[in-house]
Each structure stands twice: as C-alpha cells, then as structure tokens.
Amino acid sequence: MPNLEPRADLDRIPSTSLAPDGMSAREAYMAVHDELMLDGNARMNLATFVTTWMEPEAGQLMAEAFDKNSIDHDEYPSTSRIDARLACMVASLFHAPGIDPDRPESATGVSTIGSSEAVMLSGLALKWRWRAARRAAGAPTDRPVLVLGSNVQVVWEKFCRYFDVEPRYLPVEPGRYVITPEQVRAAVDENTIGVVAVLGTTFTGEYEDVEGIARTLDELAAAGGPDVPMHVDAASGGFVAPFLDPDLVWDFRLPRVRSINVSGHKYGLTYPGIGFAVWRSPEDLPGELVFHVNYLGGDMPPFTLNFSRPGNQIVGQYYNFLRLGTAGYTRIMAELRAYALWLAGFVREALPVYRVVSDGSALPVIALSLPDDSPFTVFDVSHELRAQGWQVPAYTMPADAENVAVLRIVLRHGFSADLTQRFGEDLAAVTAKLQRHGSVDATARHFAH
Ligand SMILES: *Cc1c(COP(=O)(O)O)cnc(C)c1O
C-alpha cells in the first residue's frame, strides 16, 4: 500500500542550522524515523555490552517518565525514593555491610548516567580520602597515583587526565590479559590513592583476581606497608557474577574493597543511561564531595557530576529489579553463558583455526584470535561478518600485547539459541571463504566498547 502520509522533502531537512520555518509533526517524525532506519540492527550487534531490548511494559513505564527530571527530588519524591531504593538494592547485591532493611538511605550509593560517571565519582572519593590522610600525616599530597591494568576501559584514562591523577598501568602480556596480585604488590606505595580491579574486562570479558589482589594488599598493610584501598570496576560483571558465581568473593565481602561501579544499562538490562557507584560505608565517601542545594525546593544532597538527568532509566531499572528478582536475572544470565559456552565449543570443534582466548565462562563474551601465520586476520573476519549483518569488532590488545588481535562476541539479553547457531554458521561460512581467498580488506580496524 502506498504511503499517503505527507513526507518531508529530503532536500529540505536542515542539518547545519535551524530552518526559518518548521514542518508538520508527521513530517518531522518521518524525517527522523527514516534516517534512523539506516542505523544497524541492534539484535545483530554483538559488539556492545549495552542493552538493546526490554519488555514492552518497561518501555511503557519509561515513556511515562520521560518528562521527569531525576534531580528534582522535591517535584518527584516517588522517583527519588525509587532511586534511593535502587542504590540500596545494588549495595545489598554487593554485600555492603550495615544496611538497614527498612531504610534505603542506609546504603551509601548513587545512581548515575552510567559507569563512566560512577568511575569519576569513585575515583574522586579515593583521591580525596588519600589526600586527607596524607595531610593528617603531614605528608606531601602533590603526586596522587592510581594503580590499574593497561586493560582498563578508556574511562579510567579520562579520570586520570581530567582529575590530575597519575596512572600507573600494569602491563598485560600475550596469553595473560588481566593483572596479577604480584604486579599490584610491586606497584603500590604511599602515593597510591587506590587499586582498580576489573570484574569482566572490556577486552576479553575475564574477571580479574579481586580476592587475590585484596589479600596481597592486606598482607602489605599488615607488614607495615601502605594501606591501599581497592575499587572494583564491575561495569559488566556486577550483574553477572552475583547470579552465576555467588561463591566468587569479589565485592564488599572483602574489607579492602571500598567502592564498586556497575552499569545498569549493561547486564542490569536497562536501556542506556543508568549506572551506579556504591561505597562500603559513609566514611568512604568524603563529605566535601557531597553538595547540599535547595534551588528546587527541599534539601538535596546529590553526589553527581551532572545536574538534570531523565528519570526514566531509574524507573526502567526498578521495573527490571521487581520483574526479575534474583531468579529472573539468574535465568537470563545462565542462558547467555550457555550460548557463549556453546559457541566457544563450536569454534573449538568446527573452526580449529581460531584460538579461543576467552570462552564465556566469566562474562558471556567470547574472544578469538588467529595464529600469526594465518593468511587472513580477525579484521577480515569482522569485515566479512559485517556484510552478513553482524557487528563483531576486531581490535588489538592493550599495551605489551598489541601484537595480538582478537574478535570479540558479546552475548546480550534478546539473543537466542537460534541466533547463536545462525551466527556460528555464518562465522564458519565466512572463515571458509577467507581460507579459500585469503585477506580481502585489512583496513577496517576499529574498536567498539
Ligand atoms: C562499559 C564499561 C565502562 C564504561 O561504562 P558506561 O556505563 O558505558 O559509561 C567502564 N568500565 C568497564 C569495564 C566497562 O565495560
């Protein structure tokens, strides 16, 4: 049936400045809608960790809250209450001590726009705490240093640059893409504001040895060395490990862990725009960082970098927590891990040309590499898969393992057993084609987080 709606004339769609006149609501809708059709198909995007599917009820609730500004606690007290509950539920999930089950405010945590903001806030708290302790001891405070792996997500580099903290990157090496307790022990000193460990690295999805690092730092402090706090970047793993690996001790059960960030919009299963920073106790969040304002009526103690923020992600995250509970998250995560393990097994058996760098036994993420003498590269594979509609990034590993390149496949909610199998078949077909013809295009090198 022909589309009889009035359509915007493409030549007339402004792209560099406002046009003198507007257009009808329908025309504006069609113009933007049509342009967005050219975006990729989110279901076939195996590059990102970020949620691309939610239940329609969640979408409806979120649409009902688009107009709410979450910072306006006085106007939207219910949204604020829900927000406080979310931070408390996350802190409980991570075993924060001292939570009063009747008082969500008894947790020390905030929701943010994502893990990036949460990382900035957590890093600032580490820096402020270190500086206060150094001042109290009459020691210099001019060289704060953060100890972290070269495998960290780019936000940590940003934190260090924006807030004048010197990063001390611990190298990875071919075959080892996580940091070790021994590396940490050798790197920390009295200028260390904290150590970052990642639960589910961006590069391979592996969990770092949080417990081993914590124990090493405990021993160091007990022996009279520096007493260095830890932060865990659980952007992805924070909503996987508690459900699939409950015996893995990586969170506030370790007294050394003072703060944790997690992205609600990754395995928290909410559309983009929400994350959390939680602290072990109020003492871990220096009071000078929390501003009290009353411009909007009422006293609000926000600890955030931005002010206004939509309330709808808060609502969507709460929907997920209510809807899924522990059993629901466990079921979804177990399904994703099963798909990842199946795919890794398929590759090992049917496509032995690949080396399985990570097999989905931590995050539901698979990383594959090719031998040095392969006539084609993982960049070729990525390129060919793109032609089949799949978005699968290929990239080189971080400092000291840059000669290793991997293909990374991230499995997310909304994926299915059928799609996993389809993807396996397409990977096999693309690989066979490249084995026949060799490298076609090795230029498309980009890394998607
Ligand atoms: C995605 C990610 C981040 C950044 O999180 P956003 O929620 O996208 O801001 C930080 N660290 C790790 C390990 C990540 O995977």
135: buried, middle or exposed (CB in 10 Å: 19+, 13-18, 0-12)?
Answer: exposed
With 60 as the cut, is the pLDDT of residue 386 above it?
A: yes
Query: 114 CB less than 6 Å from ligand 1?
Result: yes
Q: Is 221 helix (H, G, I), strand (E, B) or coil?
A: helix
d(CA 31, CA 77): 37
Query: 382 CB less than 6 Å from ligand 1?
Result: no
Q: What percent of the chain has pLDDT over 90?
A: 76
137 or 14: which carries more pLDDT confidence?
137
Instruction: Output the pTM of the full model.
Output: 0.92
**Could you tell me the pLDDT band of residue 444, with boundaries at 50, 70 and 90?**
very low
pLDDT value of position 439: 79
47: buried, middle or exposed (CB in 10 Å: 19+, 13-18, 0-12)?
Answer: buried
Query: 261 CB less than 6 Å from ligand 1?
Result: no
**Could you tell me the pLDDT band of residue 5, with boundaries at 50, 70 and 90?**
low
Query: 233 CB less than 6 Å from ligand 1?
Result: yes
Q: Determine phi and psi for 393, rounding to 5 degrees.
A: -75, 150
pLDDT in tens, 206-228: 999 999 999 999 999 999 999 99
Query: 360 CB less than 6 Å from ligand 1?
Result: no
Locate the ligand 1 atom nearest the alpha carbon of residue 198 and give its number: 13
What is the arithmetic mean of pLDDT over 36-60?
A: 89
pLDDT in tens, 140-178: 999 999 999 999 999 999 999 999 999 999 999 999 999
What is the arithmetic mean of pLDDT over 46-51?
A: 93
* Average pLDDT over the chain, rounded to an integer: 92
What is the arithmetic mean of pLDDT over 380-394?
A: 95
What is the arithmetic mean of pLDDT over 23-35?
A: 89
pLDDT value of position 330: 98
| CB 224 within 8 Å of CB 178 | no
pLDDT value of position 14: 83
163 or 70: which carries more pLDDT confidence?
163
* Distance from residue 153's CA to the centre of ligand 1 (Å): 6
In single-letter form, the type of residue at position 220 comes to L
* Distance from residue 370's CA to the centre of ligand 1 (Å): 27
**Could you tell me the pLDDT band of residue 298, with boundaries at 50, 70 and 90?**
low
With 60 as the cut, is the pLDDT of residue 2 above it?
A: no
Residues near 139 by Cβ (< 8 Å), separated by ≥ 6? 190
Query: 275 CB less than 6 Å from ligand 1?
Result: yes
Among 313, 420, 428, CA closest to 43: 420
Query: 206 CB less than 6 Å from ligand 1?
Result: no
